[in-house]
Amino acid sequence: MVKNFNVMAALPHGLEEVGAIELKDLGVQLLKISRGRVFFKADLACFYRLHLQARLPFRFLREICQFPCNGKESLYHGIQNAFDWETWLDPSKSFRVDISGISSELTHTHFTALTVKNAVVDLQRSIWGKRSNISLSSPDFCLHLHLASENATLSLDSSSTSLHRRGYRPAMGIAPLKENIASGLIKISEWDVSLNLVDPLCGSGTFLLEAVSMAKGMAPGIARKFLFENWPDFDLHIWLEEIKNAKSLLKLNMKLPKIIGFEENIEISRNAKENILFAGLDKEIEIKVGHFREFKLPSEPGIIICNPPYGKRLGNENDLESLYKEFGTYLKTNASGWSLWMLNGNPKLSSFLGMKCSKRFPISNGGIDCRWMNYKIH
């Protein structure tokens, strides 16, 4: 029987608190929150539930052990003694080593990864006379080593690619938002599913897709393969039970308010429509093609949610001034009674809206320091 173990969830910086609430609601025992990371304890059922239902984490790392590590020798021996490799990693399984952090003598992550790999394959050769292959793109087993303050933490990564890739978005616009960030921002906005939701600069439709799939209880991990399915303590019975529970949360016939996106770029709007169709949400989400000024909002006020271009990755700052001015005028003319939530990475541009922000939350979006800003429109 597998008892509670230590896990770390990697989260977008700025979404740690809301991410911790999500994890707690799914049954974890919270331990600590730090920049981009939430530490907690979970049992197998809870661990599987998180993979099916949590929307905010990039990845989960299950801790195996910690050991003092001040250089190559202590790393090599620490890794060999760290773990019951004989049970967990036989040579038929491929693996990959990921590294984060440094110590005084281990400052090159590539060298550190090589040392970990050598320690594992040397041990495998001594036990079985053969070794695992290395696979960077689709390993059976993914080791993660974190170095900090002459201490090493060895963990198992439960997914070889980031969990923000839900798989419903084969077609991407320019500068699309990551699905987990969109989900976290919607959670902060406290969108009430009875309220109309409009993204007037919707790109590939990420906000709308995340909002609707969240409202309908669609578990983001339900169609995914996870690396824990290769772990020797994988419990198929508990996993199938958690899948059944996750499916029971689906509210397929839920009546939703109007969920609409505007997008002026024809090709990007096509991407949004393809993604929505792929996710099976084309009856719930409508995409209108054109400049936002061409469209009226639904008569019942609701929430406007968007990330307009802000010049760092998309658009020239000077051209964007007029976009923000026009957006501000559009909102003041058409959106009385609505609440606007806007992700912005350029405070100079947001000032061109000509509106007073009532709440703001710092969020890192792909390394850009952004603000998730709320405006009440009168």
Can you give the binding site for ligand SAM, defined by CB under 6 A? 173-177, 201, 203-204, 206-207, 262-265, 268, 291-292, 307-309, 314, 323
Nearer to ligand SAM, 126 or 322 (CB): 322
Structure tokens at 8: 């770390």
Nearer to ligand SAM, 60 or 292 (CB): 292
Minimum CB separation from ligand SAM for residue 178, in Å? 8
Alpha-carbon separation of residue 343 from 49, 220, 298, 331, 350 (angstroms): 30, 23, 22, 16, 9
Residue closest to ligand SAM (Cβ) = 203
Structure tokens at 199: 């993204």
Strand partners, 314: none
3-state secondary structure of 18: helix
Nearer to ligand SAM, 37 or 312 (CB): 312
Nearer to ligand SAM, 118 or 265 (CB): 265
Nearer to ligand SAM, 265 or 364 (CB): 265
- At residue 206's C-alpha, the angle toward residues 366 and 198, to 5°, is 120
Dihedrals phi, psi of 206, to nearest 5 degrees? -60, -45
Minimum CB separation from ligand SAM for residue 120, in Å? 39
Minimum CB separation from ligand SAM for residue 166, in Å? 12
Nearer to ligand SAM, 230 or 307 (CB): 307
Nearer to ligand SAM, 146 or 273 (CB): 273
Nearer to ligand SAM, 19 or 203 (CB): 203
Minimum CB separation from ligand SAM for residue 206, in Å? 3
Minimum CB separation from ligand SAM for residue 332, in Å? 16
Minimum CB separation from ligand SAM for residue 132, in Å? 38
Minimum CB separation from ligand SAM for residue 9, in Å? 22
DSSP per-residue letters across 91-158: TTS-EEEEEEE--SS---HHHHHHHHHHHHHHHHHHHHS--PPB-SSS-SEEEEEEEETTEEEEEEES
Helix axes 206-215, 266-278, angle to 10 degrees: 20
Write the Ramachandran bin of 217: left for phi over 0, alpha for psi from -120 to 50, otherwise beta. Answer: left
Minimum CB separation from ligand SAM for residue 177, in Å? 4
Give the C-alpha separation, 161 to 159, whole Å: 5
Alpha-carbon separation of residue 112 from 8, 64, 152, 322 (angstroms): 21, 18, 11, 50
Minimum CB separation from ligand SAM for residue 137, in Å? 25
Nearer to ligand SAM, 38 or 370 (CB): 370
Structure tokens at 175: 């500068």
Kindly state the DSSP code that residue 71 receives in the 8-state scheme.
Answer: S
Q: Where do we find the tokens 């084309």?
A: 282
Is residue 74 within 8 A of residue 52, CB to CB? The reply is no
